[in-house]
A = this chain, B = another copy of it.
């Protein structure tokens, strides 16, 4: 295997593919990055058996082939290289590869490429195409609500309900729920899957190209893949049945409050500075007379309070929440204003956006001493 390519392009590809390198690989070979050079393309692969990434870049290939290199070292070496082009030349007898750019020469030992669990492109039962910004919005407005608790795996993933003309994503940690729906012009089939939050967070990081692009989504019974530009991502699915979350969306809420999202988000962030040191991270919200008064206190540190103007329809109400559950959703919103709908101090509330009728967030309040 022998090829030459642009250093910056290779370094960029490695920074993406290495997101699938586990820090504690299940097998030694998974610490490697698999390379395949053929037909003017260099493909790089990495997987931790949950997430797999393939990325292809242009290369001038003198001798096609496959090999596996120690992932972290390969990435660091390429990142540090001087010069614009890098040439890579395998010595299969010596089980090593020579990496050369300007005056710098590295020799890295290769790993056994035949042991590498090469990623197979998914031939799924269901395919659809979605705009990158639409997919980003589906993920961004739900994934933060997942749980980190590995003892209940289904809550560590986002539920994706594909139902002909709609795709709905939902995530919950049982104390809060985020649901976002998108409508398609043509029916795309029906399927239900749970995708690991970790994979969707990596997708959000990678899916940031400034040029709008199409993402091809392919789903099977136990896998999903996302293909866009020169990148292919595949993920195992989480097994299990997602609970019927629609039941927990409260109806007939009697108080409606409209607030400026950026103002309430910044105020909540400041007030929670004091509550963060508490066990339950509690902030109190007091809605009355067209004002929202947010406060928190900690006997050892002090108190924080802030008042902002809001539009209230309904009675005055006092209610308390885990601050994280409010701060997180407010950061995920993208419209100018949000609507908080409430009923009673111990009933779940919803947060919605006038600009996005297809999003809803539900959070359960906490009981406070007074």
Contact = CB atoms under 8 A, between A and B. Distances in A.
Interface of A: 70, 73, 76-77, 80-82, 96, 103-109, 266-267, 269-270, 273-274, 300-308
Contact of A106 (B108, B266, B267, B274): B274
Nearest to A102: B306
A308 B106 CA distance: 15
Contacts of A307: 103
A90 to B, nearest CB: 12
A292 to B, nearest CB: 10
A104 B306 contact: yes
A273 B80 CA distance: 9
B270 A108 contact: no
Q: Lowest 10 CB-CB distances: which A-B pairs, in order?
A: A108-B302, A107-B303, A107-B302, A105-B305, A106-B304, A80-B270, A104-B306, A109-B302, A103-B306, A104-B270
Contacts of A266: 82
Among A70, A267, A303, A307, chain B packs the most CB atoms within 10 A around the CB of: A303
A304 B97 CA distance: 11
B109 A300 contact: yes
Contacts of A70: 301
B301 A81 contact: no
A306 B104 CA distance: 5
21 contacts: A70-B301, A73-B273, A76-B273, A77-B270, A77-B273, A77-B304, A80-B270, A81-B270, A96-B302, A104-B304, A104-B305, A105-B304, A105-B306, A106-B274, A106-B302, A106-B305, A107-B304, A108-B301, A108-B302, A109-B301, A109-B302
A70 B300 CA distance: 10
Among A267, A270, A300, chain B packs the most CB atoms within 10 A around the CB of: A270
Contacts of A105: 304-306
Among A96, A104, A273, chain B packs the most CB atoms within 10 A around the CB of: A104
Given A80-B270, A80-B273, A73 B104 contact: no
Nearest to A302: B108
A108 B302 CA distance: 4
Contacts of A267: 103-104
Contacts of A109: 300-302
A274 B77 CA distance: 9
Nearest to A76: B273
A307 to B, nearest CB: 6
Contacts of A308: 103
A301 B267 CA distance: 51
A84 to B, nearest CB: 15
Contacts of A96: 302
